């Protein structure tokens, strides 16, 4: 049997259908989307169509989808862009006693965590909210951390190491109530200036701050990702987590003014990627670009668009959205089967994050789920994760110890230590993650290899 890949939370192979969709744009349709000639217009059409397809899949307007080079870049744009814009419009100031505050959870992806730390070195106040033993954010402490200088709250939708799914809509409600209860005078902006800069107010008349961002890169494959239903202003998604190409991601950037437009208004953007209404003017007070230049992506992310990868991203999004419920149910059965059989081999093994000792079904919470169906993070007592991962790789099974973005670091997983694990215990945990190609035959073969590795 071929090598068995059980690390789909790290990355996924490109779906053959995605690859077929991409191929023409590597050589045949190669024009620059900003060019006015026919070659450029062909590329622009592909870009427009892809943007519209992704927007439709998540239930937003096409202008609210901003393409980036990765989910990491999208997260950087969210955090740095909000801080820069808040300072630019005097909502906050590094030099004065109204430093911008960002609230994150203790188990954010490294691209959010390290960006926040970098901003902290620049004078931004960072507040990290603890999680419980299952990885759920302490909502009371999050609510207590909100103050008049909070410009952004960034909470990961589904954790990439332990699979915990945060109650994003509940957090959005907390932020909404907070906004309703504060005065716009917090920003030291006169009423006259507010009238002249309505971007600081949403259609309900409440302040836009704090802005709510979620990293949905790991969630998109299995969870509904409609920003309006979740209540988020910014949302990150990634192609390579959903069987698309590496090197492309997107940031949803809410245009609250869309809420006040007529539902029947035409939203097609044919030929408007570099002309027409300036989207940046609609989100002033919300986000500043961190890469400047030619003004692509409605002024929020300059640089010639990677059309072939964007086309592939769009195809991957459409496939993932259409197969979501079916694949979620299938993978859940695979996950439960694996866990039952693993417990027979290693009775002392424990699940991290999810319901310890059970793992039989994902806990329902309203319309959402509390844990992703494809991730199992397992504690193997008295067994080094590094040894087990290396041994399994030798035997032909690929697994990991945590985030692929931070795996080579000597430090233990910050996610596991946030759950209360000691460094030693965190170093004895292995993540198994399943994907579309995973079948029962692969699980049975992997379990035999695990049994051999533990002998």
The answer to whether residues 451 and 399 touch, using CB atoms and an 8 Å cutoff, is no
Q: Residues 223, 80: one domain?
A: yes
What's the CATH number where 283 sits? Answer: 3.40.640.10
pTM of the predicted structure, to 2 decimals = 0.88
- Compute the distance between CA of residue 155 and CA of residue 449 in angstroms, rounded to an integer: 37
Q: Residues 294, 171: one domain?
A: yes
- Compute the distance between CA of residue 397 and CA of residue 390 in angstroms, rounded to an integer: 9
What pLDDT does residue 203 have?
40
Q: Residues 244, 331: one domain?
A: no
Domain boundary pick from 260, 286, 314: 314
What pLDDT does residue 404 have?
57
Q: Residues 358, 240: one domain?
A: no
* 87 DSSP assignment: H
Q: Residues 63, 196: one domain?
A: yes
- Cis preceding linkage at 210, omega within 30: yes
Number of other residues whose CB lies within 10 A of the CB of residue 170? 15
What's the CATH number where 329 sits? Answer: 3.90.1150.10
Number of other residues whose CB lies within 10 A of the CB of residue 289? 21
| Cα–Cα nearest to 296, from 50, 47, 42, 60 | 47
Q: Given strand 350-351, what is the order of strands in its sheet? A: 350-351, 375-379, 429-433
Q: Residues 357, 272: one domain?
A: no
- Would you call 432 helix, strand, or coil by DSSP? strand
- For residue 214, how many C-alpha atoms fall within 13 Å in the half-sphere facing its CB? 25
Q: Residues 224, 241: one domain?
A: yes
Q: Residues 294, 434: one domain?
A: no
Q: Residues 338, 284: one domain?
A: no
And the tokens for 136? 């759920």
Domain boundary pick from 267, 286, 314: 314
| Cα–Cα nearest to 246, from 65, 5, 11 | 11
How many domains is the chain built from?
2
The answer to whether residues 64 and 254 touch, using CB atoms and an 8 Å cutoff, is yes
> Helical H runs in 288-347?
307-345
Domain boundary pick from 314, 341, 373: 314
CA distances from 392 to 93, 112, 440, 445 (A): 52, 31, 18, 12
- pLDDT digit string, tens, across residues 162-216: 999 999 999 999 999 999 887 444 444 433 344 444 444 444 444 788 999 999 9
Print the domain residue range for 348.
4-12+323-454
Q: Residues 235, 124: one domain?
A: yes
What pLDDT does residue 94 have?
65
- Full pLDDT tens readout for the chain, 455 residues: 689 999 999 999 999 999 999 999 999 999 999 999 999 999 999 999 999 999 999 999 999 999 999 999 999 999 999 999 988 876 656 666 778 999 999 999 999 999 999 999 999 999 999 999 999 999 999 999 999 899 999 999 999 999 999 999 999 999 999 998 874 444 444 333 444 444 444 444 447 889 999 999 999 999 999 999 999 999 999 999 999 999 999 999 998 644 433 333 443 344 344 333 444 444 445 789 999 999 999 999 999 999 999 999 999 999 999 999 999 999 999 999 999 999 999 999 999 986 543 333 344 333 345 899 999 999 999 899 999 999 999 999 999 987 555 555 567 899 999 999 999 999 999 999 999 999 999 999 999 999 999 98
Place of tokens 């969870």: 223
What pLDDT does residue 90 have?
64
The b/e string for 414-431 (b: 16+ C-beta within 10 A; e otherwise) is bbbbbbebeeebbbbbbb
Checking DSSP bridges between strand 150-154 and strand 101-105, what pairing results, if any? parallel
Q: Residues 353, 231: one domain?
A: no
- Compute the distance between CA of residue 135 and CA of residue 56 in angstroms, rounded to an integer: 31
What pLDDT does residue 412 have?
86
Annotated catalytic residues are 405
- Compute the distance between CA of residue 311 and CA of residue 48 in angstroms, rounded to an integer: 10
Radius of gyration of the chain (CA): 23
Q: Residues 342, 228: one domain?
A: no
């Amino acid at each position: 049997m071929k090598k068995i890949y059980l690390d789909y939370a790290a990355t996924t192979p490109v779906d053959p259908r995605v690859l077929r969709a991409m191929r023409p744009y590597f050589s045949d349709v190669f024009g620059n989307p900003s060019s006015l000639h026919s070659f450029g217009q062909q590329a622009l059409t592909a870009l427009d169509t892809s943007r519209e397809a992704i927007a439709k899949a998540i239930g937003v307007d096409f202008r609210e989808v901003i393409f980036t080079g990765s989910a990491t870049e999208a997260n950087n744009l969210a955090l740095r862009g909000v801080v820069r814009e808040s300072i630019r419009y005097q909502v906050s100031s590094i030099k004065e006693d109204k430093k911008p505050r960002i609230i994150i959870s203790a188990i954010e992806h490294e691209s959010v965590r390290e960006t926040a730390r970098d901003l902290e070195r620049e004078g931004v106040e960072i507040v990290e909210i603890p999680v419980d033993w299952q990885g759920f954010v302490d909502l009371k402490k999050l609510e207590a951390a909100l103050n008049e200088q909070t410009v952004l709250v960034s909470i990961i939708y589904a954790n990439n190491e332990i699979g915990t799914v945060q109650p994003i809509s509940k957090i959005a409600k907390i932020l909404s109530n907070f906004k309703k209860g504060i005065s716009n005078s917090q920003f030291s902006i006169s009423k006259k200036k507010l009238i002249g800069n309505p971007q600081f107010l949403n259609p309900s008349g409440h302040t836009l701050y704090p802005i709510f961002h979620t990293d949905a890169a790991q969630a998109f494959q299995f969870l509904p990702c409609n920003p309006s239903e979740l209540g988020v202003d910014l949302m990150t998604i990634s192609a390579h987590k959903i069987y698309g190409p590496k090197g492309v991601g997107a940031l949803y950037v809410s245009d609250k003014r869309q809420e006040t437009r007529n539902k029947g208004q035409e939203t097609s953007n044919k030929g408007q990627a570099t002309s027409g209404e300036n989207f940046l003017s609609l989100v002033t007070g919300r986000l500043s670009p961190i890469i400047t230049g030619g003004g692509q992506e409605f002024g929020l992310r300059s640089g010639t668009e990677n059309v072939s990868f964007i086309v592939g991203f769009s195809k991957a999004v459409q496939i993932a959205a259409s197969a979501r419920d079916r694949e979620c149910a299938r993978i859940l059965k695979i996950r439960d089967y694996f866990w039952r059989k693993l417990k027979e081999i290693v009775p002392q093994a424990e699940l991290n994050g999810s319901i310890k000792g059970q793992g039989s079904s994902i806990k329902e919470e309203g319309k959402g789920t509390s844990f992703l169906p494809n991730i199992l993070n397992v504690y193997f007592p008295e067994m080094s994760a590094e040894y087990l991962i290396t041994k399994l790789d030798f035997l032909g099974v690929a697994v990991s110890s945590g985030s692929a973005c931070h795996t080579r670091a000597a430090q233990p997983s910050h996610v596991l230590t946030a759950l209360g694990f000691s460094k030693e215990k965190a170093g004895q945990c292995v993540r198994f993650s399943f994907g579309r190609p995973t079948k029962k035959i692969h699980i049975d073969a992997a379990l035999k290899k695990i049994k051999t590795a533990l002998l």
